[in-house]
Homo-oligomer: A and B are copies of this chain.
Amino acid sequence: MNDHEIQDLEPGFIFQRVARQRLRLTDKRLVPYHLTSAQVFMLNWLLHRDGMTQKELAQRLSIGTVAVSGMVDRLEAANLVYRGEDPTDRRAKKVWLKESARTNKELLSGIAKEINDVSFQGLSKDEIKKLLSLMERVRRNLAEALDADDASQWLNTRPIGGKDSDIAI
């Protein structure tokens, strides 16, 4: 297992795999409830505070408003949330929980706890704390970089792979 000329790509690769495998494991636990990890993240924010606009929800979840739109569609179809109007802005829609979602709070946090236990097995409390605080710093670094990036613009267009290499639409 010395497949390691990788080096530079390795960090991203580990981050990637940890995140994806956590999702996979969580999704497996959620199958009986016909829910997905992403939906649980959203429900959790709503359990914390109801009636946010989709825009606000998107910011909380660090995803685009388009992704929120689709997810609210599915949660609405699943009878867990509903859209209401924003009295002060007719463009916006507020998302509210239905009772059916509210009554299952413990179930969801139980699953979350189980996944954490699995993830952190063998790590001391201090190590877990350290890990999370380092990850939080990385998260902030990336958030900053993305913000800064949006400010400037990135031109330049030179595909690799030769003449027929335009895979973009």
Contacts and interface: CB of A to CB of B under 8 A. Distances in A.
Given A21-B62, A33-B159, A78 B138 contact: no
Overall SS of chain A's interface:
helix
- Interface size bucket, A side? 35 or more
Interface of A: 3, 5-26, 28-29, 31-35, 37, 40-41, 44, 48-49, 60, 62, 74-75, 77-80, 98, 100-101, 103-104, 107, 109, 112-113, 115-116, 118-123, 127, 130-132, 134-139, 141-143, 145-146, 149, 154, 156-168
The 8 lowest CB-CB distance pairs between A and B, nearest first, are A19-B19, A8-B112, A78-B167, A21-B142, A34-B159, A100-B161, A131-B134, A79-B161
